[in-house]
Amino acid sequence: MPTTCLTARLRWTIKPGNDLFIIWNRGWKRLVLTPEDISLVPDSELFAVKLRWTPKVVLIARWKRWKSPVSSLAPRILGPRPISTLRLA
């Protein structure tokens, strides 16, 4: 049977990369009772909503100033303090 279809689509761009689609589709079949008859009978109907959202990637970088590796290893390399520099109570 021959069919006829109508589709309507609304697209709303909220901001670049973020879109809302609303779609309506309706189909009819041709009902042939006699050769002269061109009656259309509703066959299908579709209503759909689609939201396309593109996430924004944000990179957060933290820079921390580290101590020089030599200065952090110095006490271990030089060893303990001499006894003469320690205060005894």
Please list the ranges in the chain whose pLDDT falls under 70: 1-2, 62-89
User: Residue 6: what pLDDT?
Assistant: 92
Q: What is the pLDDT of residue 85?
A: 55
> Does 88 map to a domain?
no
Give the pLDDT of residue 33: 79
The pTM score is 0.53
Structural domains in the chain (count): 1
Sheet with 39-53: strands ordered across: 3-15, 18-31, 39-53
Domain range enclosing 3: 1-54
- Assess if residue 15 is contained within a domain: yes
SS percent in the chain: helix, strand, coil, step 5: 15, 45, 40
**Residue 71 resides in a domain:** no
And the tokens for 29? 């079949």
Distance, in Å, from the CA atom of 11 to the CA atom of 51, rounded to the nearest integer, reads 10
